[in-house]
Structure 1
Amino acid sequence: MTWILTNSARAFDLLNPRAENVLTTDIAHALSLVCRFNGHCAWHYSVAQHSLLVAYIIEKEGGTPEEQLAGLLHDAAEAYITDVTRPLKLLLLEAARQRENVWLTLVEQYASESGMRNVVSIRAAAMRILTTTEREGISLLLDVYQQIEQRIWLAIAERFHLAPELPDCVHRADMIALSTEKRDLLPEHPTPWECLEGYAPLAERILKMQPEIVRQQFHDRLLGLMAVTHRRRAAA
């Protein structure tokens, strides 16, 4: 079984996500109930509220409706697979990299000891082994979560006519939002977050909001931006 049942009673296949199964109501509902920071915050602060904040920052800094839409949906894949905390995600990626390097080193040592001349060919063969695929290209030895997340994101991007690569302004707004969330929602701690260097929090404070209110605000914002971007595409 590789699918989940969404709030709209749709079977959403994680290995073969399709744009037609991406519903605005599913995204708004799920993201309003998924809590940021694995729940280690002052109150239930949802991914949907974070996404609204990111879209607001982009708008405040003069971003286009298309950029605002990308900002609102930048974490939309979490409606289907939630998220992995940043430190764990980095550890998984580093573990995959080290595992790959160990395999390649062992193959090269074997080639050298066996007197085999074409080490490049052996390395290429090892890489083919390392990327043996299962179920439509999911790698067995690389970061599975990231690959599934990317597949879902591409289905979302297709559904909402977004570019696969997020604009730089989304990354910037995401970090400003994180800086603001750290100040307003997380406990004080002396260790600085290196990823936030150069990103100041907003002057405004984050307000506590009920999930139902956030869900409606997120969905209204999403439909409003879609209407604008659709008109712009039609007029182009």
Structure 2
Amino acid sequence: MIDSPYVSTFLGHRFFLTRPHIDDVAIEDIAHGLAYQCRFNGQTREFYSVAQHSLMVMQLVPAPLRLAALLHDAAEAYLGDMVKPLKNLFPEFSAIEARVMQIIGERFAVDLEHLDPAIKVADLIALATEKRDLMPHSTEAWANLRDILPLPESIRPLMPLDAKSAFLDSFHQLRG
């Protein structure tokens, strides 16, 4: 009997939420999970994945930061993409998420616990672009986007399999 809660992954692994193990982290599980999760809890004009968001953030940072940028939301493959207002209500969730990010970072030899400020800015630029292009009825100002300009080009959402493939291709290119 297993006494610790786990998530069954695409590849058939058991990912233990409260005691994650480095051997249970697989890039295909991450790419698949992120490609099939819609940003903003699905409250978008059309499906737009966390994987595609991660690809956008990756493209906005200098080359040495790209792997960390690509993986900046990797824990969501195992924990889900909890909307920020809800996440703020559950500090224990944030602690679990931090531990999962630590393990993922160890697995791929990248620091995901202390993200470079450039990644955080890129994440906000992506967020501003996503709000403009994917949430046309969300007309209120978001405080965290003050002074953040969206990208000039519009987002063209990818189908999940295309987002997964692009995520994996980018990962493998970055890893050499």
Please, what TM-score do these two structures have when normalized by structure 1? Answer: 0.70
**Superposed, which structure 2 residues align to 1:153-232 within 5 Å?**
153-163=101-111, 164-227=113-176
Moved over 6 A (4+): none
- Name the amino acid aligned to 1:158: E
Paired-residue identity, %: 41
State the alpha-carbon separation in 2 of the partners of residues 86 and 180 from structure 1.
Answer: 17
1:103-146 deviation line (CA, Å, top 9, x unaligned): xxxxxxxxxxxxxxxxxxxxxxxxxxxxxxxxxxxxxxxx2111
1:155-209 deviation line (CA, Å, top 9, x unaligned): 0010111122111111000000000000100023442111001110001110021
- For residue 89 of structure 1, report the CA deviation from its aligned partner: 2.2
State the alpha-carbon separation in 1 of the partners of residues 139 and 155 from structure 2.
Answer: 22
State the alpha-carbon separation in 2 of the partners of residues 49 and 149 from structure 1.
Answer: 20
Q: Kindly indicate whether residue 63 of structure 2 is the aligned counterpart of residue 64 of structure 1.
A: yes
Higher helix share: 1
Stretches of structure 1 that go unaligned for 5 or more consecutive residues are 94-142, 228-236
Match of 1:144 among 84, 92, 103: 92
- For residue 226 of structure 1, report the CA deviation from its aligned partner: 1.3
1:20-56 deviation line (CA, Å, top 9, x unaligned): 2111110011100011000000111000000000001
1:42 is matched with which residue? 45
Please, what TM-score do these two structures have when normalized by structure 2? Answer: 0.94
Q: Kindly indicate whether residue 32 of structure 2 is the aligned counterpart of residue 29 of structure 1.
A: yes
Q: Number of matched residues?
A: 172
Secondary structure of the residue that 1:181 maps to in structure 2? Answer: helix
Match of 1:77 among 75, 100, 114: 75
- Name the amino acid aligned to 1:12: F
